Amino acid sequence: MDVPGTSDAAAQILHRVFGYDSFRGQQREIVEHVCAGGDVVALMPTGSGKSLCYQIPALVRNGTGVVISPLIALMHDQVTALRACGVRAGFLNSTQDPDERRTVEYDFLDGRLDLLYLAPERLRTEPALRLLDRGTVALFAIDEAHCVAHWGHDFRPDYLALSVLHERWPTVPRIAVTATATRQTLAEIDSRLGLREARHFVASFDRPNISYRIEPKKEPRRQLLSLLRGEHRGHAGIVYCLTRASAEKTAAFLAAQGFVALPYHAGLDAGTRALHQARFGREDGLIVVATIAFGMGIDKPDVRFVAHLDLPRSVEGYYQETGRAGRDGEPATAWLAYGLADVVAQRRLIDESDGDLAHRRRLAVHLDAMLALCETAGCRRAQLLAYFGEVYPHPCGNCDTCLAPPAVWDGTVAAQKLLSTVVRLERLRGPSFGAGQVIDILLGRKTPRVLSYRHDALPVFGIGGELREAEWRGVARQLLAAGLLAVSGDHGTLVLTEASAQVLRGQRQVMLRRDVPVAAAAARAGRPAAAARDGRPTAAARDGKPATPPPGELPPDAGPVFERLRTWRAAAAKEQGVPAYVIFHDAALRQIAASPPATLTDLAQVNGVGETKLARYGQQILDILAQDGT
């Protein structure tokens, strides 16, 4: 079904409601295709404006846009932000009492909603299906569509039921959007959602404002503390840990160091989790220390860093989690501390995981790709994008391997020494030993454990004095990553693989990455993001409006104005009970402070200032600027 004048109508809504003069990237094509009744699968990185691709068509087309969203907290945040722009939005979920649900249902049936958000599990219920039958649905939007794929990193069974959308409402257009999907995941999305005939839009996965950094793990909490004190004091961020206990301890550690840090994991009661997530959305400078239970769909635009204290299980998961940083397009850091114990732990988890052999192989493929990213001596961004099938033609200049390139060395002899030690321990058929014992033997350390098992009598004892302990750990880590060494048993016992024999016989060369010292890498990597300095256009510039200065680069006289505007915004947000970014993003306030508007007409030219926000807040902003004498 063609909608007359959809291009003009969409552009008008973009400017009038959301405050932008032009679409970015493929947004216009996607919006026009959905407005005309076509199906779409869109792969777009976090922060690229995926939501507008279904929100605007919902406002153009007749009826209500129904959005399938996986998290209740995400629904609430998106509906709050839409209402602040004057959009009639609502949601139906388990947090509402019967009266609240009935009010939303009546609004939908009476045509008083532009957008209605539902959880996927609700669509498995007959009452929800009958409700949609009785109303007028403009489109179906399936957010976080990768959740439908077994191959992906965040499979959710409830998403499998979404095939009902096409079966029950075959004429209603559907748009499936996600920020992370490989070719395998994309194929599953097409198949399971019946979108084989949909038009595909695949944007670049590159997030040029994010600086990717991975460093050897030594004292991870102290390393994290150095990062925060040196580069991100007072910034909002997320720290990911593998276990609940680690999340709790790390949050307590950061709090003891003067940071506002809260834990988040599935072991906390629902009320505490909701409170911590709400505080993260509403407060400036708060850090959440979490397991991967936290973060999907986080709308907070000013997350300045995402840190991992443990190795993610897949590149898709890593990309999704790090993508929560810098949604506003401003410089942000993705930092990971990674060590030998991480590889051992992840390999063991795969061996012990439920599921058949195919499932374990799939997990191993994911892990191998993540290890390749960690161990690469080339540009990390190029390696990351290659995983998603995208070619990055040159070093990015905004990752640690570009800013502090590591050396590559011939580690064949070192590998033979380590593997030979593992062979000797296997032949003894005694207790199981992990990497620590192997390295002690190589370094000739007469520890109580070495002496008690007479390992000092082995011919390999003391043959590894040319390398330090940290370097031997790097050798073991990289051999595990390359499949030249494996892990067995509960104690992380090192064992040989079929490929080990080629190395021991001298039939295979082993080239290893020499880790750059942490202090040197951090000093060189802790500089402004490349996107802010290499001439690439920011989001504001692409929208045809004045570019917003990145954090720390405001004109000297604009800094105090910016802080006054932030203070006003914080008070307004508190009074309304909404996150500060719902009022205005930092980028908008920074643009106002850098080039103060004199009239409401001038203020309307700022990115993100639509008609509703201009009417609600415009005069207050002008009054603040006038008081400041600007």
pLDDT in the model for residue 550: 47
For 6-202, give the CATH class. alpha beta
pLDDT in the model for residue 40: 96
Strands (E) located in 187-299: 199-202, 210-216, 236-240, 261-264, 287-290
Return the DSSP state at 549: P
Q: Do domains 6-202 and 545-627 have the same CATH topology?
A: no
Per-residue pLDDT of 298-336, as tens digits, reads 678 889 999 999 999 889 889 989 999 998 888 999 999
**Cα separation of 341 and 467, whole Å?**
19
pLDDT in the model for residue 532: 37
Quote the CATH superfamily of domain 210-406: P-loop containing nucleotide triphosphate hydrolases (3.40.50.300)
Sequence-distant (≥ 6) Cβ neighbours of residue 332 within 8 angstroms: 209, 210, 211, 303, 304, 305, 306, 325, 326, 529
Quote the CATH superfamily of domain 545-627: HRDC domain (1.10.150.80)
Residue ranges of the chain whose pLDDT lies below 50 = 1-4, 520-521, 527-550, 552, 630
For 408-514, give the CATH class. mainly alpha
pLDDT in the model for residue 419: 96
pLDDT in the model for residue 284: 84
Cα-Cα-Cα-Cα dihedral sign, residues 421, 422, 423, 426: positive
Q: What is the pTM of this model?
A: 0.79
Per-residue pLDDT of 504-557, as tens digits, reads 999 999 999 887 665 544 555 554 443 333 433 333 333 333 334 445 467 888
Give the bridge partners for 303, in sequence order.
236
pLDDT in the model for residue 546: 39
pLDDT in the model for residue 35: 96
Give the bridge partners for 202, in sequence order.
43
Q: Where are the domains of the chain?
A: 6-202, 210-406, 408-514, 545-627
